[in-house]
């Protein structure tokens, strides 16, 4: 059977080769004159196709790697995203800080040395919140955020002794509900612009050196806690006009207030649970069961006094007490025994030791501390045992020695600062002996050359009425909260009293008559009564604290 002759392809058309079974063959480029045709390359091929001399004429070209198109696609998408973002600014966070608040805070912090330079673009302090947070210093804020911005509501900057002024920009933070600038070194006047902060609920400016008149704060109707103290001035009248119906904590100690105390203020403050007006010069009559002070208040004392203070007392030649600790006899001086003084006096109480003729009375409480009034330390293995415990108070400590023969006595006070171990904290208090001021702003660490270092101070006192009175009390100065709340007021490790002429033989005590016994019992009862009077007069904080506890329990019920 004959076959039809094959016709040549049209001029310029690619040559086709068809096998007997009519299977298609790869298309070839038009051959160049004098050269064999070359197979076409796949656009996805990474290597050259074999020449006709190396592969059968009907072999298919090699397949591309399957990862190559995916990598190319990822590269193209990345380039597209980068190109789309190249000409556009980055979008701000959804909750950015209010521009006015951010600018005011940055200016305040820059003037206080907490931040440097100009405010960066997109400054968002509500995304940071804390600049410093230690037992000594704190710089922090808190914010309230809506769907599109945050407002600064809390500002705490405490413990910075280099901060001496209040920038005016601070009072542009009109959303503040809490402002704590205590324990700095602020001087001058409390700016009247504080009335701009009408939403304030907590305002603490205590423990600074502000020295001008107190501003009118009548606009601060939301106040719940007001603590402003240590104004370095005197003679200002107590003339608040604020209708602070929500106030629960009021501390205005050592503000130099004078004049008659306006009782109407207390009557209007039905939510008041803590009051402190110590170290002012207020006068007048006041309900002593509801208020405290170390002022010139007068009022009625309770009729009931202890009826069981009788004891057979011997006139002591010397006296020693381990303040805050158990009975102790130093190995180096076995002839001296320091009496036990470990009774927990709580916020305000007294203890009578009828066996050893002495009384200790304590008045003082802090609304943010639950201290027992006794502190101990395990630091310093070389610290003598006598200094490892101490009695302290946020108000006053009285020690009375009863039944001493008339004469001159040496009062030896033992100190060691075992609570404040940082240079940022300062414990300052006054010492009176026999109602005479002996030391003002006594600083244990300064006198001893550091913390955990024992130091003794000797003073001479005249006894003419059989009673020696030692009074250590806080005068409103020093720090209040380093290393924790309630770290202020007097601290004493031990007390020893002995006749100044110790080398001379003391005469034996005279035989006790019933009249003498009655006199001594009267002295002890009188001292106890005095302690109770001081407790009642100076412990409204206790009463109000109990009231606060009952209110809290009532609210939780």
pLDDT at 103 over 90: yes
| Predicted local distance difference test score (pLDDT) of residue 255 | 80
Of 176-190, 213-227, 485-499, 523-537, the least confident: 523-537
Domain boundaries, given as residue ranges, for the chain: 96-298, 319-504+511-542
| Predicted local distance difference test score (pLDDT) of residue 351 | 87
How much is the mean pLDDT over the chain? 74
Over its C-alpha atoms, the chain yields an Rg (Å, rounded) of: 42
Residue range 401-427: average pLDDT? 90
H helix intervals, 226-383? 264-268
Helix (H, G, I), strand (E, B) or coil at 391: strand
Q: Tell me yes or no: is domain 319-504+511-542 CATH 3.10.100.10.
A: no
pLDDT at 223 over 60: yes
Question: The tokens 């309230």 sit on which residue?
Answer: 144
**Paired tokens of 216:** 């009118």
**Inter-residue contact 470 to 494 (CB < 8 Å):** no
pLDDT at 163 over 90: yes
H helix intervals, 385-427? none
**Paired tokens of 269:** 């403050």
pLDDT at 19 over 50: no
- 104 confidence band (pLDDT: 50, 70, 90): very high
**Element of type H or E holding 111:** helix 99-111
Helix (H, G, I), strand (E, B) or coil at 78: helix
- CB atoms near residue 552 (< 10 Å): 11
Spatial separation of the C-alpha atoms in residues 21 and 7, rounded to whole Å: 19
Spatial separation of the C-alpha atoms in residues 294 and 281, rounded to whole Å: 8
pLDDT at 302 over 50: no
pLDDT tens-digit series, residues 263-283: 666 677 778 777 777 777 877
- CB atoms near residue 157 (< 10 Å): 24
- CB atoms near residue 164 (< 10 Å): 14
Question: The tokens 């010069």 sit on which residue?
Answer: 281
| Predicted local distance difference test score (pLDDT) of residue 556 | 44
Which residues are 259's β-sheet partners?
Answer: 282
pLDDT at 121 over 70: yes
Query: Is the bond preceding residue 254 a cis peptide, omega within 30 degrees?
Result: no
Residue range 157-176: average pLDDT? 93
| Predicted local distance difference test score (pLDDT) of residue 264 | 67
Kindly provide the b/e burial profile for residues 502-527, where b requires at least 16 CB atoms within 10 angstroms of the residue's own CB.
eeeeeeeeeeeeeeeeeebbebbbeb
% of residues, the chain, pLDDT over 70: 62
Spatial separation of the C-alpha atoms in residues 232 and 209, rounded to whole Å: 5
**Paired tokens of 499:** 């006749």
**Between 384 and 229, the higher pLDDT residue:** 384
**Between 267 and 479, the higher pLDDT residue:** 479
- 484 confidence band (pLDDT: 50, 70, 90): confident
- 251 confidence band (pLDDT: 50, 70, 90): confident
- 288 confidence band (pLDDT: 50, 70, 90): very low
- 249 confidence band (pLDDT: 50, 70, 90): confident
CATH of 96-298, one of 3.20.20.70, 2.70.98.60, 3.20.20.60, 3.80.10.10: 3.80.10.10
| Predicted local distance difference test score (pLDDT) of residue 306 | 39
pTM beyond 0.85, yes or no: no
pLDDT at 447 over 60: yes
Sheet holding 339-341, edge to edge: 339-341, 319-323, 494-499, 407-415, 455-463
Of 150-159, 215-224, 364-373, the least confident: 364-373
- 286 confidence band (pLDDT: 50, 70, 90): low
| Predicted local distance difference test score (pLDDT) of residue 291 | 47
Q: Which range has the top average pLDDT, 19-33, 233-247, 345-359, 384-398?
A: 384-398
DSSP class of 4:
P
| Predicted local distance difference test score (pLDDT) of residue 457 | 96
**Inter-residue contact 454 to 382 (CB < 8 Å):** no
Question: The tokens 């009285």 sit on which residue?
Answer: 398
């Amino acid at each position: 059977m004959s076959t039809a002759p094959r016709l040549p392809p049209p001029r310029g058309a690619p040559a086709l080769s068809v096998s007997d079974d009519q299977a298609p063959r790869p298309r070839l480029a038009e051959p160049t004159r004098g050269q064999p045709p070359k197979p076409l390359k796949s656009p996805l091929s990474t290597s050259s196709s074999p020449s006709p001399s190396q592969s059968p004429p009907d072999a298919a070209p090699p397949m591309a790697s399957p990862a190559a198109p995916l990598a190319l696609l990822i590269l193209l998408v990345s380039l597209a995203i980068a190109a789309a973002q190249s000409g556009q600014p980055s979008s701000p966070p959804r909750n950015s800080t209010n521009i006015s608040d951010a600018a005011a805070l940055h200016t305040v912090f820059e003037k206080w040395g907490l931040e440097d330079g100009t405010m960066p673009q997109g400054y968002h302090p509500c995304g940071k919140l804390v600049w410093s947070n230690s037992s000594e210093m704190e710089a922090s804020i808190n914010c309230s955020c809506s769907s599109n911005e945050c407002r600064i509501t809390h500002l705490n900057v405490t413990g910075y002794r280099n901060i001496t002024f209040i920038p005016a920009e601070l009072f542009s933070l009109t959303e503040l509900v809490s402002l704590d600038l205590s324990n700095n070194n602020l001087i001058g006047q409390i700016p009247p612009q504080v009335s701009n902060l009408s939403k304030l609920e907590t305002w603490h400016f205590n423990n600074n050196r502000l020295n001008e008149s107190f501003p009118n704060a009548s606009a601060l109707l939301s106040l719940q806690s007001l603590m402003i103290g240590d104004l370095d001035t005197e003679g200002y009248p107590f003339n608040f006009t604020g209708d602070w119906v929500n106030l629960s904590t009021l501390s205005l100690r050592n503000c130099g207030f004078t004049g008659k105390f306006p009782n109407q203020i207390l009557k209007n403050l039905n939510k008041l649970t803590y009051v402190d007006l110590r170290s002012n010069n207020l006068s007048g009559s006041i309900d002593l069961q509801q208020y405290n002070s170390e002022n010139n208040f007068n009022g009625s004392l309770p009729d009931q006094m202890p009826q069981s203070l009788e004891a057979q007392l011997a006139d002591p030649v010397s006296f020693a007490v381990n303040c805050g600790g158990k009975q102790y006899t130093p190995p180096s001086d076995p002839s001296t025994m320091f009496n036990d003084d470990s009774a927990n006096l709580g916020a305000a109480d007294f203890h009578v030791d009828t066996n050893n003729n002495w009384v200790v009375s304590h008045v003082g409480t802090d609304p943010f501390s639950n201290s027992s009034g006794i502190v101990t330390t395990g630091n310093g293995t070389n610290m003598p045992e006598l200094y490892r415990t101490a009695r302290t108070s946020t108000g006053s400590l009285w020690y009375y020695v009863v039944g001493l023969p008339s004469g001159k006595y040496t009062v030896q006070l033992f100190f060691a600062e075992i609570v404040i171990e940082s240079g940022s904290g300062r414990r300052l208090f006054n010492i009176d002996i026999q109602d005479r001021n002996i030391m003002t702003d006594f600083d244990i660490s300064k006198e001893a050359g550091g913390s955990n270092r024992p130091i003794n101070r000797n003073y001479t006192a005249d006894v003419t009425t059989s009673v020696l009175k030692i009074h250590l009390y806080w005068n409103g100065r020093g720090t209040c909260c380093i290393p924790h709340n309630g770290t202020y007021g007097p601290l004493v490790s031990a007390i020893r009293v002995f006749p100044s002429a110790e080398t001379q033989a003391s005469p034996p005590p005279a035989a006790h008559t019933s009249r003498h016994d009655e006199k001594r019992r009267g002295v002890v009862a009188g001292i106890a009564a005095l302690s109770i009077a001081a407790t009642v007069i100076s412990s409204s904080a206790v009463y109000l604290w109990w009231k606060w506890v009952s209110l809290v329990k009532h609210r939780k019920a």
